[in-house]
Amino acid sequence: MGPPLKLHELIRAIRSVKTQNEEREVIQRECADIRSSFRDEDSLYRGRSLAKLLYVHMLGYPAHFGQMECLKLIASSKFTDKRIGYLGAMMLLDERQDAHLLITNSMKRDLEHSSPVVQGLALCTLACLGSTEMCRDLAGEVEHLLQNSTGHVKKKAVLCAVHIIRKVPELVEMFVPVSEELLGEKRHGVLYGAVLLVTEICRRQPEACKRFRKLLPLLLQKLRQVMSGYSPDHVVSGVTDPFLQVRLLRLLKILGQNDESVCDAMSDLLAQVSTCTDTQSNAGNSVLYETVLTIVDTKSASGLRVLAVNILGRFLLSSDKNIRYVALTSLNRLVQSDYAAVQRHRGTIVECLRQTDTSLNKKALELCFALVNETNILPMMKELQRFLQTCPLELKQQCTSGIFLCAERFSPSTRWHIDTIMGTLVTAGESVRDDAVSHLIHLISGASELHGYIVHRLFLAVSKDIGQQPLVQVAAWCIGEYGELLISGSSEEPVKVTEDDVLDVLEGILQSHISLPNTRAYTLTAIMKLSTRFTRCVDRIRRVVSIYSSCHDVELQQRAVEYNALFKKYDHMRSAILEKMPLSEKSATEENETAIPELSEATERSPLDNSQINFAQPESQVTDLLGLLEVSTDMTMNTSSTAGPPLPQNVTSGSSLLDLLDEPVNHEMPPLVVYSKDGLQVEFSFMRPPSNPALLVITSSATNSSSITITDFQLQAAVPKSIQIQLQGPSGSLVPASDGGSVTQCIRVLNPQKVPLKMRLRFSFLQNGNTVQEMCEISNFPFGTWQ
């Protein structure tokens, strides 16, 4: 039997086959030969066999039987075998296999090897598949190589050190001294790795930032050198070393957080980067974007922040959709803190609504709603309603809800408000919130001077088209309440309408196959109410009502039977019972629900999470995340990033929803630990004002007893829709290790019906380099919280 096929011969044989079946046959034969070669302990071709097996693995075929051969080749003294062994280990092994632990001793010997090439192989493999145990065992050797090795090895060792810190954060202190020295390196690869290592250290151990802030002049000098073109070999599209520039800017951002002196020291250089970087390429745009993030996330001067907003404004003019998306996402983050600067780019943002990309439309829509105010409500509403006519179906409900909210907050007049909502209902069709009908009815009922105008306009609308069910429901209610105004001609442009004309339209709605059950219920009630307004048509109305006494719809049948009883047994009471509805104040629940658009959560591209509409001066930021929470009951989610909907201090008195300044008095209730896992503990304490027993103020306190600092901590809460919830801004997003501090957040809960309180919580945070999301449901609140 001759020597086995060489790798290139196997590749040629596989590429020459005509069908998938022939390819499988070739690979099966070759795998059998490879297994046979592996069984031969004295085989001279073990390295060649493993190389062929790796190619088979790349084609998607099983190659697990070669794992142990990797270990044998790594232990070999021949460099060629060792090289293919390490390559095989990186491809075939990971932390889930126990076999990778067996190579620790071989890697330890190779890290101490005299050959830099062998050391580099071991470092690459450790950085690729090193587990927590391996990293802890080999960290000393890596730290030694960072101090005493050639540039080739040092470059690999510094990247390996980053992996070790991510796997074993408690080893951060070991690498702090050497990382300070590495920042002074002139070799490009080593410097890049050093910046990455220092950035990782500062993220894992915020206390180390104080030590590295002393090296700020050195970092600024390095950034200036990069900008001046010190490394011509790393120019990308005319931009000098954009990768190192981005890494340096990220490190400066971390060092400048919560430190004004650092912000002042680097402000001139950030301005220089912002104005001198070429914007004609993606490389330049990446540097500019990172500069914007550095300015935004630090306490930079207002002029510098305006410059950052202007950069994003230029991004909006780019022909690249991805760049525009990034700009819109960033402007959404900035709109709260730099409202005036973002407002200057309103025209460009509105232009993004006319793009054909749904993701761009969504981000631009969120930003447009955030920019609406009293001065621009009229032109902005025209643009938003124009967008509603052509927007993708998945954005119609979000757009409609936002229009309703903006119209309610910034309406210049009641007539304009009502016209806007009615026009939106015509355009949006079924893509409206369930409470839109009741909200508009309540609004109309309070505008007594416009009843004639409104009922005429609605009557004409449903006479032409009854396909828009929400609008038909509002029209039916208004005709039932104010139908006599149609006959009397009480309108600015009176249209001659008879009682029979009105009833013809309402009967047409009842009989239409496209009418929803709710629409028929509204319409039958409207016809019944007209029996006291249209005295000449009482017999006709009685006949219509009697027909529906045997309707298959149980709800409609019940209404008809009860209305028939009014005609017969209780006819003397009919006029009093069917009088116009009195004008009533909204309940607290209705007030809150109509003020908050129910926005769908899309999860889009970005970790910037969010699918939500941010308003310039937000009273609320609430989204319906039922799908995300997987709750069976109807619950409303409030995010923790901004203040939630303002809750009234006194529901029964009808006081202003903005009156939240009264400090509640503590009614003694024991605290409750709502979450405890892996060192993270979240505890709720409770307070209740004596003047409003329906209001409960909860203070959430998150502490961390583990040795690993938790960052990006965020709390979200959901409650049933009969209860209102408001999450105020948290005290921070970093939960220090070893109980070194806490993150607190105020939660206001309004429960007018005093039903037993249930709450679903979601926690998201970054720990040990991993993103963690946890959920829990709380129903064991202490006595005194409506239990």
**CA 673/CA 147 separation, integer angstroms:** 48
Tell me the three state secondary structure of residue 636. Answer: strand
CB 196 within 8 A of CB 210: no
The helix or strand, by DSSP H or E, that contains position 310, with its residue range, turns out to be helix 302-315
CB 674 within 8 A of CB 778: yes
Name the burial class of residue 339, with classes exposed (0-12), middle (13-18) and buried (19+) by CB atoms within 10 angstroms of its CB: middle
In the block, which residue shows the tokens 């979601």?
A: 762
Cα Rg for the chain, rounded, in angstroms?
35
- Supply the CATH classification number for the domain 619-778: 2.60.40.1230
**CA 131/CA 378 separation, integer angstroms:** 60
What pLDDT sits at residue 111?
A: 94
What pLDDT sits at residue 491?
A: 54
**CA 402/CA 771 separation, integer angstroms:** 31
CB 323 within 8 A of CB 285: yes
pLDDT less than 70: residues of the chain: 1-2, 41-43, 230, 489-495, 583-668, 784, 786-787
Give 196-215 as a DSSP string. Answer: HHHHHHHHH-GGGHHHHHTT
Q: Structural domain boundaries of the chain?
A: 619-778
Name the burial class of residue 278, with classes exposed (0-12), middle (13-18) and buried (19+) by CB atoms within 10 angstroms of its CB: middle
Q: How far is CA 123 from the centre of its chain?
A: 37
> Nearest 5°: CA angle at 62, between 57 and 65?
100
Q: Which tokens sit at 182?
A: 């590495």
Distances (CA, A) of 241 to 191, 216, 246, 270: 12, 20, 9, 16
Q: Which tokens sit at 586?
A: 């909204």
Give 667-683 as a DSSP string. Answer: PP---EEEEEETTEEEE
**CA 387/CA 391 separation, integer angstroms:** 6
What pLDDT sits at residue 43?
A: 67
Q: What is the pLDDT of residues 117-153, one digit of tens each?
A: 999 999 999 999 889 999 999 999 999 999 887 888 9
Query: Please, what is the angle between helix 451-464 and helix 499-511, to 10°?
Result: 50
CB 673 within 8 A of CB 705: no
Q: How far is CA 502 from the centre of its chain?
A: 49
CB 725 within 8 A of CB 717: yes
**CA quadruple 261, 264, 270, 272: dihedral positive or negative?**
negative
- Provide the Cα torsion 183, 188, 193, 195; round to 10°: 40
**CA 70/CA 47 separation, integer angstroms:** 9
User: Strand 680-687 relative to strand 695-704: parallel, antiparallel, unpaired?
Assistant: antiparallel
The helix or strand, by DSSP H or E, that contains position 122, with its residue range, turns out to be helix 116-129
**CA quadruple 675, 681, 684, 685: dihedral positive or negative?**
positive
Cite the beta strand spans of 589-634 per DSSP E.
622-623
**CA 711/CA 732 separation, integer angstroms:** 9
What pLDDT sits at residue 652?
A: 35
The helix or strand, by DSSP H or E, that contains position 488, with its residue range, turns out to be helix 484-488
Q: What is the pLDDT of residues 297-355, one digit of tens each?
A: 888 888 899 999 999 999 999 888 999 999 999 999 888 888 999 999 999 999 999 98
* 487: amino acid identity, one letter: I
In the block, which residue shows the tokens 């910046």?
A: 195
What pLDDT sits at residue 245?
A: 93
What pLDDT sits at residue 715?
A: 92
SS (H, E, C) 399-436: HHHHHHHHHHHHCCCHHHHHHHHHHHHHHHCCCCCCCH
